[in-house]
Structure 1
């Protein structure tokens, strides 16, 4: 952002303030008179959808760059998975059983954040959907380590208000799922997927598709909970049918614990001579 002393043209915000002080009249009260970029009703018109898409792409990108976030560790996972202390209130026995992955997500985020801080805190910053469940666990683990974390919320009828562990200045809100998913991966160095529902499956398969089709560079891709993932997805059947290749089954790794996940990441980085650059899609 340019300093006002170096500007040639007026500051847009100053013009908004100036326009508020103009004498009231039928002309100044009209919809036409409002500055276009300060007119909420105009910006929400269907014809302005391309502009809104661009704004949702640009705002987080600019703010993450200004915050010095160079790369991220992505945590996907279910909003309905409770922390173990609350598992007795879970509506199903299976959800109560899956509560152990809340602790694993929290510990994984804590350990990765400690490693990030040791390297200056610009790389391997935890990013989640910013909501409850596994997302909360990820942001909480980063906070346990004394580090920053990112939350990418989206406007939904339920569930998706920010959890209290997201770094406030790195808590974003979205209208478009597609742009939100793009921001998950633009700085990604690792994707860790915990048990979840439709949203988690959507995020997982889109990310895998980008890697499979080489639209995104390979990165460590971790699926926590082999039993869960093999029960709901018959991976080998896809390969047998020929709808994916046997090689595609090597795009991801099953892990059970945070420590095991970090071992996989460290080995992958050593084998691929990775230092600190993300795999931009």
Structure 2
């Protein structure tokens, strides 16, 4: 009779890593050397087949999910913004190197926007000071796209106060590397844009959008669409740099043309400072909690 006070074996099958190790030291015959004999999960050629795209989707969704769970990250403060806006000192250097009027005008605009590097950095510092909950879960953990410029500023702000931060990088045709301020164990790389964007929003409880290009437009307007259509519960969506946004996109014209409702503009909160933005986020969630949300 078994002793009920003693645990039974937790598993009866060998672990996959044990079988994988055994497979590496097998006999060498024409059969075992052929790719067909490889374990499926060790066969990179097999995993990269066109037919296996659904499996790769699942893996790319699952790996970050597990890593963030293991890091006790319950919610994130996501920051979007340009990869081309340098910090103020570097922006000034770009201006000094401008060799013609066109380059000088562009550099002057970059200098004007470079202050948002400091704003993003300070906002990340503020968010990173949010305490863990009673279960030890972390909230408003700073998350960026892992790249340079505004993204770097976000991760750098977290590092300034000794906090970890997330970087969700993407494979691009030109070589790139995560910025040095992303926590290495929370630096993740994606092949699929769609799954990267999904992970930006699964845990997002606030989003800050700084001036940016196509990528920033893509991420921020998709978020607005998801909230507009009820696919995502409303969260604070902070837009920084109203002068920039009014210049590059006419949101009021969309209302005048009848393609969005005037109330859709209320999904955006315009802010300029880190303190103002962080206060908006705190007020939003305090009111939500007071109303039982």
Q: How does 1:3-18 map to 2 (within 5 A)?
A: 6-18=10-22
CA distance in 2, matches of 1:53, 1:36: 17
Partner deviation per Cα, 1:211-254 (whole Å, 9 max, x = no partner): 00010000000001110111111010001111000000000111
Partner deviation per Cα, 1:190-223 (whole Å, 9 max, x = no partner): 0100011100000001111110001000000000
Residue of structure 2 in register with 1:108 after alignment: 123
**1:237 aligns to 2:241 (yes or no):** no
Q: Is the 8 A contact 1:127 1:149 kept in 2?
A: yes
Residue among 218, 236, 245 paired with 1:202: 218
Residue of structure 1 in register with 2:110 after alignment: 95
For 1:86, what is the secondary structure of its paired residue? helix
1:270 CA drift (Å)? 2.7
Q: Is the 8 A contact 2:130 2:139 kept in 1?
A: no
CA distance in 1, matches of 2:245, 2:46: 45
Residue among 250, 266, 277 paired with 1:261: 277
Q: How does 1:115-126 map to 2 (within 5 A)?
A: 115-116=130-131, 122-126=138-142
CA distance in 1, matches of 2:275, 2:77: 15
Q: Is the 8 A contact 1:149 1:170 kept in 2?
A: yes
After superposition, the Cα gap between the structure-2 partners of 1:201 and 1:8, relative to the gap in structure 1 and judged at 3 Å, is same
CA distance in 1, matches of 2:133, 2:110: 35
CA distance in 1, matches of 2:75, 2:290: 12
After superposition, the Cα gap between the structure-2 partners of 1:201 and 1:177, relative to the gap in structure 1 and judged at 3 Å, is same
1:266 CA drift (Å)? 2.1
Partner deviation per Cα, 1:152-174 (whole Å, 9 max, x = no partner): 01111236410111111111000
TM-score normalised according to structure 2 size: 0.89
TM-score normalised according to structure 1 size: 0.93
Higher CA-based Rg: 2
Q: Is the 8 A contact 1:131 1:162 kept in 2?
A: yes
CA distance in 1, matches of 2:265, 2:155: 29
For 2:129, what is the secondary structure of its paired residue? helix
CA distance in 1, matches of 2:290, 2:43: 46
Aligned residues: 273
After superposition, the Cα gap between the structure-2 partners of 1:24 and 1:217, relative to the gap in structure 1 and judged at 3 Å, is same
Q: Is the 8 A contact 2:75 2:139 kept in 1?
A: yes
Q: How does 1:109-188 map to 2 (within 5 A)?
A: 109-116=124-131, 122-158=138-174, 160-188=176-204
The worse-fitting range, judged by mean Cα deviation, of 49-58 and 22-31 is 22-31
1:260 CA drift (Å)? 1.0
Residue of structure 1 in register with 2:31 after alignment: 27
CA distance in 1, matches of 2:284, 2:53: 41
Structure 1 residues without counterparts, runs of 5 or longer: none
CA distance in 2, matches of 1:140, 1:274: 33
Q: How does 1:247-258 map to 2 (within 5 A)?
A: 247-258=263-274
For 1:222, what is the secondary structure of its paired residue? strand
Q: Is the 8 A contact 1:195 1:224 kept in 2?
A: yes
